[in-house]
Structure 1
Amino acid sequence: MNWARHWRLILSLAIPSIVSFAMQTLSGTLNLIIVGGLGATVIAIVGVSNIIMYNAWALFSGIGHTVNYLVAQNYGAHDMKKGIERTSVALTVTAGMSLVILLAGLLFAGDILRLVGGEASSGLAAGGEYLEIRFFAMACGILNFVFHGFFRGIGDTKTPMLLSLVSNLLMVTFTYAWTYGKLGFAEYGLPGAGWAFFLGEAVGLLGCLYFYFIRLHRKYETRSRILGWNRTEAALILKESGKLGAQEFALSISMLLFTLFVAVLGEEALAANEVALNVMSLGFMPAFAFGATATILVGQRIGEGKPMEARRLGTDTAVLGSIFLLAVGTVEFFLAEPIARIYTKDPFVYEMAGELIMISAFLQLFDGLLNFFAGGLRGTGDTSFLLVTSLIMGFAVFVPLSYLSIFVLEWGNVGAWVSLYSFLVLFGLTVMFRFYRTNWMQVKVKEAGAAAGH
């Protein structure tokens, strides 16, 4: 039966991605717990640095997403010569971006920390050094994301999973070792935690270089173009990555504004919000993984000239991803408060967090629909729609609704999350509608100087 074959294929791609994303989330949590022993000021600095890094990543992430869907289409079309050429151009562009990030870290890390963190960053001189090292790690990280985009484009989600496991295990281990002087190493405090991030990303980059230029060379001649430049392909990649990067950045900024609004409600309300968001990341991970799977499968089938099979695989991916989210949501709904108690002993915080988790448990299905069908649309190359919709939904719906519910209607944390999920429901349904209203028979492989039809 087709559905059984499709589901096996989808799971073979999605499960390694779930493991990869889960490891990244877990390592971030463990790193924060480890450095938390240095005190509240350090926690504040790490939190501010994470916000800065997330927004920087969002801004530069578009090129990895672009390589992912373009290579998937070229792979499906059996034109990997073009896929390698495009990846080479993308690596050249990203290498330039990495230099910009390195310079930003060297010259402006302290100023950026003071600007974003305000008084929270003023109590620890090592904060600027920590953020500077995080910029160095980010310079490696955006190159890793391009390589991961290539691997996923050819249907290989196991290599990114393996590299993520190694990278994040190193980060956690050496955060502990270098922060506190354990396992026979010297004690470096907070900068040691920064160097652990850099080590993980650098080793991940070495792994990417090995798999791409050595393991895959025989099959795809990857060393034929280590760094390359084709003007028309560069224009396409810059245009597409600009749109996808701006889309991610718009969402990250709107989420940052939402968090700042919630912070006005007080420390306990903000703590409950952060606990609930951390728990809901259990649902975000399969949503991201199945969204990435949709990009791979839709892009490859478009390349093969099988648009209706692409549509069917996108649908099957959404169905299977929704089943995962409903299973996770059921557990979260019935165990909301006990789960929240794991994070805090403060009754107000865990009761409020439990209420937010219950609100989110099944509504997160719409966040899933957003990721599943946005992933499918990326596979078709419909990036302009995703950018415009993200801007409208983020700044004309989400931010105003959050402001209204918190500052005008004074609904507190619950009102904030009602606005969050109103935004996700509307966004998810809009993207799903676009997916099914697409004229699939007109969708073609994205070519430089030409637009795919929708």
Structure 2
Amino acid sequence: MKVAWIINIIHIPLNYVLIFGMGEWNGWGVEGAAWSTLLVRAVGTWLLWRYLKKSVLAISLGTLFSWDKNTKEMIYLAIPAAVERMIMRLGQVVYFGLIVVIGTKTFAAHTIAGNIEMFSYMPGYGLALAATTLVGHSWGAGNWREAYRYGILTAAIGVVFMSFIGLAMFIWAPWYASWFTKDPEAIEMVAIALRIDAFAQPALAIGLILTGALQGLGDTKSPMYSTAIGMWAVRIVGIYFLGIYLEMGIAGIWLAIAADIALRAVYLFFRFKSQAMQKIKLEQDRDENIFN
């Protein structure tokens, strides 16, 4: 969090200077924005490394390139998580292209709605990190019931928080849209998108947080599978069918997104419950054998 504050304080004025210039220099425009982002990310990486070096987890650079049991385990866990992000980004490229086919104004409205929706992610991401830490700590200690309770508790808290955010999005959608545009048609489309998305907020909370909980269990494959199926079989197909084929426009796009979010939430919930219950059952059987 501290590093995020620092790099954003640097990023905003650096963006201004490199994009628009200073004095007689006219800046680099879009290229300036790219250079600014690259520089602050480099600074952020360096600062995070410094914080890590000061912590009890301090390691040398050489350790990162050693090939031992811990390294293998890290790679085994990291690859599905990296592939999951790649699947998501490639899917976004495809469905953004489909939205452009519908119309540039629709794409602009979708982008605005997506920027507004980003604020609803904040509690979910925070609780997902908490779930990864708490579930992972309990799971590693063999406290499987406690790990399960932490996962369900953080997801429940997320549902409450993000449901309130969804309610606010539904009520004040046109006002939020007016922050970005004064075009009445665009405001109407953004409001439609946000009001559909409002109903998806509880499922979004479950999906985000239980992804973190599953990662705490050491399961990075289930989120990868859910993203692959949800993005390519539900979201992209749904946007084509509802948005283009049935000509539902922005409503079709966000109905497909909501369906994707809901499907992922259901899948991840049952995966988390299934894995936790398997361990809890083993614990019960062990306790019964000891008692007998």
Same fold (TM over 0.5): yes
Q: Given the alignment of the two structures, is residue 282 of structure 1 paired with residue 122 of structure 2, yes or no?
A: no
In 2, Cα distance between equivalents of 1:173 and 1:221: 33
Cα distance, 1:199 vs structure 2: 2.5
Instruction: Pick closer, same or farther for the CA change 1:288–1:345 going to 2, 3 Å.
Output: same
- Residue in 1 that maps onto 2:86: 249
Q: Given the alignment of the two structures, is residue 188 of structure 1 paired with residue 24 of structure 2, yes or no?
A: no
1:308 and 1:441 in contact (8 A); partners too: no
Q: Given the alignment of the two structures, is residue 378 of structure 1 paired with residue 218 of structure 2, yes or no?
A: no
Cα distance, 1:342 vs structure 2: 1.3
Q: Tell me, what secondary structure is at the counterpart of 1:382?
A: coil
2:148 and 2:276 in contact (8 A); partners too: no
**TM-score w.r.t. length of structure 2:** 0.88
Q: Tell me, what secondary structure is at the counterpart of 2:247?
A: coil
- Residue in 1 that maps onto 2:201: 364
Q: Given the alignment of the two structures, is residue 345 of structure 1 paired with residue 185 of structure 2, yes or no?
A: no
In the TM superposition, 1:381-420 aligns within 5 A as 381-420=218-257
- Residue in 2 that maps onto 1:169: 9
In 1, Cα distance between equivalents of 2:18 and 2:165: 36
Tell me which amino acid in the other structure corresponds to 2:52.
Y
Q: Describe the superposition over 1:326-385 as per-residue Cα deviations: whole angstroms up to 9, x where unpaired.
A: 121121111111111111111110011111111111322211111111111111012222
In the TM superposition, 1:47-446 aligns within 5 A as 161-182=1-22, 187-190=26-29, 191-213=31-53, 215-216=54-55, 219-220=56-57, 222-223=59-60, 227-440=64-277, 442=279
Q: Tell me, what secondary structure is at the counterpart of 1:251?
A: helix
2:160 and 2:202 in contact (8 A); partners too: no
In 2, Cα distance between equivalents of 1:243 and 1:283: 26
Taking only the aligned residue pairs, the percentage that are identical comes to 25
Q: Give ranges in structure 2 of 5+ residues lacking alignment.
A: 281-292
Cα distance, 1:294 vs structure 2: 0.9
In 2, Cα distance between equivalents of 1:358 and 1:400: 22
Hey, which bits of structure 1, 4+ residues long, moved more than 6 A?
none
In 2, Cα distance between equivalents of 1:207 and 1:403: 43
Cα distance, 1:221 vs structure 2: 5.1
Instruction: Pick closer, same or farther for the CA change 1:206–1:439 going to 2, 3 Å.
Output: closer
- Residue in 1 that maps onto 2:287: none
Q: Tell me, what secondary structure is at the counterpart of 2:102?
A: coil
Tell me which amino acid in the other structure corresponds to 1:378.
Q
Q: Describe the superposition over 1:372-418 as per-residue Cα deviations: whole angstroms up to 9, x where unpaired.
A: 11111111012222222322222222221221112322222111111
Tell me which amino acid in the other structure corresponds to 1:375.
G
Task: Calculate the aligned-residue CA RMSD, in Å.
Answer: 2.1
In 1, Cα distance between equivalents of 2:64 and 2:84: 27
In 2, Cα distance between equivalents of 1:275 and 1:326: 20
In 2, Cα distance between equivalents of 1:266 and 1:224: 49
Tell me which amino acid in the other structure corresponds to 2:126.
A
Cα distance, 1:287 vs structure 2: 1.7
Cα distance, 1:163 vs structure 2: 0.4
Cα distance, 1:303 vs structure 2: 1.6
2:145 and 2:276 in contact (8 A); partners too: no
Cα distance, 1:236 vs structure 2: 2.7
Q: Describe the superposition over 1:244-286 as per-residue Cα deviations: whole angstroms up to 9, x where unpaired.
A: 1111211222232222111111111111111111111111222
Q: Tell me, what secondary structure is at the counterpart of 2:179?
A: helix
1:294 and 1:376 in contact (8 A); partners too: yes
Q: Tell me, what secondary structure is at the counterpart of 1:305?
A: coil
Tell me which amino acid in the other structure corresponds to 2:258.
Y
Q: Give ranges in structure 1 of 5+ residues lacking alignment.
A: 1-160, 444-454
Instruction: Pick closer, same or farther for the CA change 1:221–1:208 going to 2, 3 Å.
Output: closer
